[in-house]
Amino acid sequence: MKIIPAGSIDRIELMQTFIRIVESGSLSATARQLGVSQPTISRRLQALENMLGQKLILRTTHALKLTDDGERCYRHAGQLVGNWHALEDDLTQTRDEPVGTLRVRAPHAFGQDQLIGPLVRWLKHSPELNIEWMLNDRTPDFVAENIDCAIQVGALSDPGLVAIQIAEVPRRIVATPDLLALAPELKTLPELAALPWLSLSTFYRTEVTLKNVHTGISQTITIHPRLSSDSIFAIHKAALSGLGVGLISSWVTEDDLAAGRLQEPLPEWQATALPVWLTYPWASYYPARMRHFLAMIKQVMPTLTGIRPAATDSSVRKN
């Protein structure tokens, strides 16, 4: 952000701080997110209240509460800040150049394997851009973690986000030939369920639903995992060791299936592919770094190994 000449108050900075206080719910959280001290946040809030001549936030020992004037201020603040950044981009001609720092959350496995190559190539062509690349499979808290956008796999739990489906991840039931030799006449799902299993707890635990690609019939089986983990890499290695049957994303198992290290016991029974989403909070304005990143990920994701384009375009927008 540009600094207003000395002797005056940076009103946009005060507005940004006020928005962050409201969305994070505390002065201390705002201080952590902005990398300043809590007294600095208190001074900014007081300066904004003095400038507007109104009390905006009532502070108690346990919570912050917006006054009626604070509610009105918050409604306008987002649009004002967005308009200011749009004006900066327009006048400084940085509208099409990604600059600054973008904070992104991505799934751990995707983020360190499939996506790091395209991300590095993109950064090499964007010398004024920095990325904070945070890998975590939990549902992101955009406010508390000060995240700009996220890549998420699977079902979404927050209907208030902008969400764009950009690809889907096919999954395969796999096991080693030695493990499948324990059931040489394996022909039915109950027989498959009777084998030792591995559970990728992020997506399935004790039940797996499969669909017959020939008949279209779906069936759910109950499994008894020898090992449960939230790491796809751990489940993959356990499957390769012969510990159990796993339902694993195709991009992880593709080479093993081709080499015969893993096999599909009942290939006509398939699990539903997992949707891949780009998610971010709705705003009236997004900086160039955000727009360019979203465009890059949309283009790259469906081309990655073991990933395919989304079956249908799907998006959700906060009302």
pLDDT tens profile 14-73:
888 888 888 777 888 888 878 888 899 889 999 999 989 999 898 766 678 888 888 888
Type of residue numbered 136 = N
What letter would DSSP give residue 150? E
Task: Say if 100-165+275-309 and 170-274 have the same CATH topology.
Answer: yes
What tokens appear for 2 in the block? 């540009």
What is the spatial distance between Cα 59 and Cα 57, in angstroms, rounded to a whole number? Answer: 6
What tokens appear for 159 in the block? 């209907």
What is the spatial distance between Cα 279 and Cα 132, in angstroms, rounded to a whole number? Answer: 16
> C-alpha angle with apex 137: 171 to 279, nearest 5 degrees?
90
Superfamily for the 100-165+275-309 domain: Periplasmic binding protein-like II (3.40.190.10)
What tokens appear for 105 in the block? 């959350």
What tokens appear for 243 in the block? 């510990």
Strands 207-212 and 162-169: unpaired
153 closest CA partner among 137, 133, 171: 137
Kindly report, residue by residue over 209-244, the tens digit of the pLDDT: 999 999 999 999 999 999 999 999 999 999 999 999
| Percent share of the chain, pLDDT over 90 | 52
* Predicted pLDDT of residue 4: 38
Task: With beta carbons less than 8 A apart as the criterion, state whether 18 and 4 touch.
Answer: no
Rounded mean pLDDT of the chain? 87
302 closest CA partner among 119, 115, 141, 81: 115
**Alpha-helical runs (H) found in 25-67:** 27-34, 38-52
Task: With beta carbons less than 8 A apart as the criterion, state whether 308 and 167 touch.
Answer: yes
CATH of 11-92, one of 3.40.1280.10, 2.60.40.10, 3.40.630.40, 1.10.10.10: 1.10.10.10
Among 130-144, 180-194, 206-220, name the one with the lowest average pLDDT. 130-144
Residue with tokens 């996220």: 150
Residue ranges of domains in the chain: 11-92, 100-165+275-309, 170-274
Torsion (CA) 288, 167, 209, 178 in degrees, nearest 10: -110
Domain 170-274 part of CATH 3.90.1150.10: no
What is the spatial distance between Cα 238 and Cα 244, in angstroms, rounded to a whole number? Answer: 7
